[in-house]
Chains A and B, each alone.
Chain A
Amino acid sequence: MRGFAWLLSLSAIAGTAAASPEDDRVWKELRPAMLAFQAGGSRDDFRDTCNRLRHAHPHTRYTDELSSLFAALDNESRVTAPTLPSTPTADEAARYWVYQLREVAGHQLSDPGEPDLFDAMMGRPPNAADQLVALGPAAIPWLVEALDDDTPTRTIAWQRSFYPVYFVLRRRDLALKVLERITGARFYDEGATYIHLYMDTRERREAVHDNVAEWWKHSRGASQVQMIDNQLALMHQNTTLGINQRVQMLRLLGEIEGPEPVLPELRRLYAVDSSGLNSEIAEALAELDPQTPVRAVLARFWADQSCIATATRACTPRSRSATSEPASSIRASGTTRIKRAPRPSTARAGRSRSSRRCCSRPR
């Protein structure tokens, strides 16, 4: 498990630390400037505001972010914008739309949460992110290249809308989300809803970057299934990723190819899963193999551990004699025979204990 120092430091940024009067003064100007920028305001105006605020108030909690925004906005003013020919090649279109990611004005609707980046799914005209997803794999080389790009987009995120810190997402943040949507592979786990790639630690950004570069080396020209397979093989190099991202990819692979290739691994993972009722693994298994939950319930029933079984004993705690009923083996579902024996003390012990409680309800 990775350390939490970086999360704690960002938590301090994002509202829980006490603000100085100087901080307050900056925020009173910066917030409306950010929202005006999101609403389509001039990039030059926003750049100038950032520059003015960082010089007028050089020692606030916003100084680093203002400097970063100013530098990135100043840099992009020197870049020649690509144009979109009337009949563009896929490559020309990808280059153009990756550049246009800077105009994506995602809005965050929940506290906490993350901004909606894809307009088409919300019934609005497609934005640059939608266009890139539509282009598919042809956009990937340009998206990989954009993972170093700190150009501000018009997408604003926050931890809480009422905290005095908002985040202007960068082209790299959107490029990564688009890349994940095109491939179905996962390359980054934020670790918290208010973390975004551009603000993450250098080590974690590099882990993502290296992982994507290595994956793309193997995945150029590959099918979607092969792309996901490749990432399943490479994800261990990426310290931001964990079991949830693996399960998500296995699940998608099972949906595309059929459950057979992924069920053995999901079952192995489930055997040591301790995440309880919100288990992503259980959900994936239930979707790909609907018999799994049925068999699990039947197994518990026949093993005399279910609520129903205990209810038939008028909700009395199980006596010693009850547990020593004919125990040889009882037919569950499938060809498996479940021995009526004490549960071993494994990682699933917590689940077993709760299910053995008389008439206990799922929490």
Chain B
Amino acid sequence: MANTQGIGATFKQAALGAVIDGKALKAALYLASATTGPANSAYTATGEVSGTNYAAGGVSVTNANSAGLTSTTAFWTPSASIVYTNVTLTTAFDAVMIYSTTDSNRNVGVFTFGSQTVTAGTFTLTMPTNDATTGLVRFQ
């Protein structure tokens, strides 16, 4: 039996948990023409969508999950779908930023989903299964 090198699995879980567990999160939508991405350190209004029934900053994210750990992969996924109700967003958008209002609007991640528009309707972002294989954010 040989020794194995590697970052500790519980270290990964603790690192992910430090920015996720118990935090108040929000989700903002961005125009397809914007340049929002991982380099944004925090939420920005630049390039954010605007339209009927959409408030700047987006909507709250249900965050009942804490960082999980299976084998050596830490993972986390919002615990409910993200829903924008009865909105009209006629300029194409293709990304959502999840950010932590608890931590000065720190950018947790930007996720793209292809160019979309909604008129007088509800936009729902459904989350993948919260596990080490498909969880929305994973430290491997």
Q: Indicate, yes or no, whether A interacts with B.
A: no
